[in-house]
Amino acid sequence: MAIASSSSSLLLLMFLAFLDHGAAVANLSSIEAAVRDRAFQLFRRTSEIVAVDVPAVLAGAGVEASATRVRSSALWADGVNATVPGLAVAVPPRVVPAPFARRVAIVFVRFLGDASSWLFDAPPGYALAAPVVALLAFDASGPNGGVALRALGAPVRVEFRDISPASGFNATAARCLTFSSGGGKAVAAHAVAMEPGPSCVVSGTATGHYGVAVRVETPPPPPPPRPPPVRERWWVWKVGATAGGVAAASFLAVTVVGAVRWRRRRRREEMERRAMCGEELGRMAVRGSRMPSAKMVRTRPELEEELS
C-alpha cells in the first residue's frame, strides 16, 4: 500500500508540474488521491480534525485540505461539525456511508486562488465568487475507496466564510453550484439551495464539489467608430469633386454632340422630304427632244421696248 501510494504521488507531482506554467487543465482525481493519501498518514484518533500537509506543488497551486475520521455509528448518531479556515461544514445526524464502512474518513479540500479557475468552469454569464470546496469521504477501515455520504434526515450545510455582503457580495445574483469532473475542467452540473451565510444546503448525497457563482453583467457593445476629422478628409472631398466635375463635363459634351448630329440629320431628312413632294414639271418637244417645262409661268415676260 505504501509503495502504491508513493508511486501515485510521484506521478501526480510530475503531472502537476504544468501548473507552475499556468496550465488550464489538471487531473482533479489525482489531486484528491494525493490529499487522501496524506490524510490517512496523519490520523491519530477518531473525531479529530487535522490539517493535511499537502505536497508542496499542490500547496503552491492553492490547494488546502483538512480531514477527520469517524465511526459510522457516531456519524449516524451525532454527525460531524467541522470548522476550518474559510469554511464550516455541518453534517447532521442520520447520515450513512454508501457503500457501508465501519469507519469513514471525511476530507475537506479548498481550491484557493487560481486553482479554482484552472480546475472548475462556471456556467456562461457567471463567475466564481469563492474558492470551490470538495466534501469527500473514504472507507477508513478497508481499501480506502471512496464512499458517498447520504443524508436521510436534515440536509448537509456547507458555509463559505470567505465572502460576505460587506465585501460587495450580492446574494440575490448568486447561485450555489455542484460540479462534475470529466476529461478536462469540472463543469457546473446542478444548482442547489442557498441560504444566508452564504451556505449551500445539500439533501441526499452530500459528497461532491460545491461553489458559489455570481452573475456577471455583460459589458455594453463598443461604440461605433467616430468619423475622421474634416481636416483629415479634405483630400477625399477634393478627389470626389474632381471626379464629379470630369463626369459632368463628359456627359455635357456627349449631349451637345448628340444634339448637333440629331439636328443635322433632321434637316437633311426634311430637305429630302420636300424634294420628293415638289411640283412635277411638264414635258415639251424641242427639235426632236423632250425637255422638261413648267406648266405655267409665274412671272410674265415683258418686252424691253415697252419698258422704255
CATH class of 2-215: mainly beta
> Which one is predicted more confidently, 300 or 105?
105
Beta bridge partners of 134: 109, 209
Q: Find all residues with CB under 8 Å of 191, minimum gap 6, and list them.
A: 175, 176, 177, 178
Which are the contacts of 235, defined by CB distance < 8 A and separation ≥ 6?
A: none
Supply the pLDDT for residue 45: 58
What confidence score (pLDDT) does residue 76 get?
A: 92
Highest mean pLDDT: which of 51-60, 90-99, 164-173, 266-275? 90-99
Per cent of the chain over pLDDT 70 is 72
What was the pLDDT predicted at 18? 38
What per-residue confidence (pLDDT) applies to 93?
Answer: 92
Look up cell 455541518; give the residue: 90
Higher-scoring residue by pLDDT: 5, 153: 153
Portion of the chain with pLDDT greater than 90, in percent: 9
Maximum average pLDDT range among 2-11, 44-53, 78-87, 163-172:
78-87
Spatial distance between the Cα atoms of 184 and 26, rounded to a whole number of angstroms: 7
pLDDT of residue 138: 92
Among 44-48, 117-121, 256-260, where is mean pLDDT lowest? Answer: 44-48
Phi-psi region of 171 (alpha: psi -120 to 50; beta: other; left: phi over 0): alpha
pLDDT greater at residue 301 or residue 88: 88
CA gap 202, 192 in Å, rounded = 7
What pLDDT score was predicted for residue 9? 42
pLDDT of 279 above 70:
no
The pLDDT assigned to 192 comes to: 77
pLDDT (0 to 100) of residue 58: 85
Kindly report the average pLDDT of the chain as a whole number: 76
Is the pLDDT assigned to residue 252 strictly greater than 80? yes
275 vs 174, residue with greater confidence: 174
pLDDT tens digits for range 96-148: 999 898 999 999 999 987 788 888 888 888 888 888 899 999 998 877 788 99
pLDDT in tens, 209-249: 888 888 877 777 788 877 656 555 666 677 777 888 888 88
Range picked from 31-35, 193-197, 273-277 for highest mean pLDDT? 31-35
